[in-house]
Amino acid sequence: AEFQEYVNNLKKEIPNLIICGDYNICHEEIDIHNPKMKGVSGFLPVEREWIGNFIDSGFIDSFRYLNKEPDHYSWWSYRANARNNNKGWRIDYHMVSAPLKDRIKRAYILPEAKHSDHCPIVVELDF
């Protein structure tokens, strides 16, 4: 709630915002390799509701805005050969404020970059 209040106030001063990071939440079933994991932290109903409300407050999930297909993830557990089997989660986001919507040119994930259990995500805006 405090973060939401902070962002709401920030948007009044700076309407063109991109808030990037590891949110540690899969928003939709398409964002997790096994959507039956509803009782697992990172995919709990309360978490998914929070990120949905955040998006509804005037943000766009830039990747999902341009990419509707499944099996695109930004994090994989180190266990059970998850990355090689693409048993991942999409928990990293570039949330773009609504005034920038028409400027979103590309948004993609770089799963081939293996520097940690996460991989880089990219958003490109047209100015």
- Which residues are catalytically annotated? 22
Which parts of 44-125 are beta strand (E)?
A: 59-61, 75-76, 88-89, 92-97, 104-109, 121-125
Question: Would you state the structure tokens that stand for residue 38, as one six-digit string?
Answer: 């509803």
Within 10 angstroms of residue 36's Cβ, the number of other Cβ atoms is: 9
- The strand order across the sheet containing 18-22 reads 18-22, 92-97, 59-61
Please state, in angstroms and rounded to a whole number, the distance separating the CA atoms of residues 89 and 98. Answer: 25
Q: What are the Cα distances from residue 107, in Å, to 86, 116, 125? A: 19, 20, 9
Contacts of 53 (CB under 8 A, 6+ apart): 4
